[in-house]
Amino acid sequence: MKKLLIVLLVLLVVAIVALLYADTQLKSLAEERAEQEIGKALPQLHGVKVELDGFPIALDVLLHGQVEGLHVTIERASEAGFEAEQLSLDVSEISIDKDALIDEQRLVVMQIGQATAQGFVTDEEVSKAVKQTVTFSAGKVKARIHGQEVEAKASVKGRMVALSTTLPGVPPMLFPLPSTDLLPCSPQLELLEGKLRLSCTTSELPDALLIAMAQAG
């Protein structure tokens, strides 16, 4: 009887280890495929990383059709000659197609709870875009216009950021937000040392990301 219990215990441990290994492999393959497909669909993105939250992933998907979270990070994005960096999309409460994930390691997102998007643009990049010297610091932005350094105010105007000064006859300096493929909502602005943080929350993922992650490869 004792030997039988030992054998059963060993078999149980082996089964658990095998299941954990299979779950890790499923997660890794799904993440890698999503990274590859996003990179192919959106070649302007560099350094794409996809990470799924939850353990065990397979059990959550089979029982509930959900994973705890999805994180997409992008080192930099170059669009129309303007570059943003450290972009991220953090998604919670994701319903996915379990057959697509289990059978093909594809991330077919059906519904999400909430997503938080953010990205950064440097004052050097903004200076190139507006053709004036712009300097960001904590809570402040300054611009050198016609040899004069003045304070400016940053605000969102549609899909542009406007830097406005009180100089008479000087129009706002404009530069583009990252595309809706990366920043799908109207962001809040936070002025930091040397860069501007853009962040917003949404209940929908960008179509381009949804389509790319769902591709069969």
Interval 206-213 mean pLDDT? 90
Higher-confidence residue of 118 and 28: namely: 118
Show the tokens assigned to 203.
Answer: 């209940």
What residues contact 153, with CB distance under 8 A and at least 6 apart? 141, 163, 164, 165
> Which has the minimum average pLDDT: 20-29, 44-53, 130-139, 175-184?
20-29
pLDDT level of residue 217 (50, 70, 90 thresholds): low
Residue keyed to tokens 């299979």: 22
Residue 25 DSSP symbol: H
Judge whether residue 5 has pLDDT over 80: no
pLDDT level of residue 139 (50, 70, 90 thresholds): very high
Q: Which long-range contacts (CB under 8 A, 24 or more apart) does 149-158 make?
A: 154/189, 154/191, 154/196, 155/189, 156/186, 156/187, 156/189
Show the tokens assigned to 74.
Answer: 């992008």
Judge whether residue 19 has pLDDT over 70: no
Global pTM value:
0.86
Instruction: Give pLDDT, residue 88.
Output: 96
Q: What is the pLDDT of residues 24-61, one digit of tens each?
A: 788 888 899 999 999 999 999 999 999 998 777 777 77
- Residue-averaged pLDDT of the chain: 88
Interval 151-155 mean pLDDT? 96
Residue keyed to tokens 């962001």: 187
Measured CA to CA, the distance from residue 34 to residue 91 in angstroms comes to 15
Judge whether residue 91 has pLDDT over 90: yes
Show the tokens assigned to 98.
Answer: 């379990």
> What SS3 state is found at 127?
helix
pLDDT level of residue 80 (50, 70, 90 thresholds): confident
In this structure, what are the phi and psi dihedrals at residue 123, rounded to the nearest 5 degrees? Answer: -65, -30
- Which is nearest to 41 in space by CA: 50, 28, 53? 50
Interval 5-25 mean pLDDT? 62
Pair type for strands 140-145 and 133-137: antiparallel
> Which has the minimum average pLDDT: 29-33, 63-67, 149-153?
63-67
Name the β-bridge partners of 83. Answer: 78
Residue keyed to tokens 């215990």: 9
Instruction: Give pLDDT, residue 8.
Output: 60
- Chain mean position to CA 159: 18
Measured CA to CA, the distance from residue 45 to residue 86 in angstroms comes to 11
